[in-house]
Amino acid sequence: MVEGGVVKAADKTDFTECWKVTWKTPYIMRLAFSAGIGGLLFGYDTGVISGALLDMKEDFEAVGRSTFLHELIRAVGGGFCSDSLGRRKTILVADFLFFVGPLFQSLDSN
């Protein structure tokens, strides 16, 4: 903590008090969990789509020449799903695919 411009180390009582307050309000825990999972999934998605885009460049010559087409493919798919299913259902479907996709990948024997 900072008192008068001097930084003092946090002691065990500060940590314990913070922990007690956090458990009394489960909203804070849900919020922290959601933020952590969101960051994890964003990084995972970035890694997965990078590999998929490499394959798309090889399979489709026009996509290999234009980064605009990469973004257009993702935007059209997401926009279509949001318009037809609704924003919340689209997010739930994406979350389900994020969960099931790695399971199938880990069970693949090749």
CA-CA-CA-CA torsion for 61, 54, 40, 99, nearest 10 degrees? 80
pLDDT at 110: 62
Separation of alpha carbons 14 and 61, rounded Å? 59
Return the domain boundaries, the chain: 1-48, 66-110
DSSP 71-92: HHHHHHHHHHHHHHH-HHHHHH
pLDDT at 3: 57
β-bridge partners, 7: 2
pLDDT at 109: 65
Q: What are the φ and ψ backbone dihedral angles of 3, each rounded to 5 degrees?
A: -135, 115
Q: Provide the residue-wise pLDDT of the chain in tens; the chain has 110 residues.
A: 555 666 667 677 877 887 787 778 888 888 888 888 878 877 877 777 777 777 777 777 776 677 787 778 777 878 888 889 988 888 888 888 878 877 887 787 66
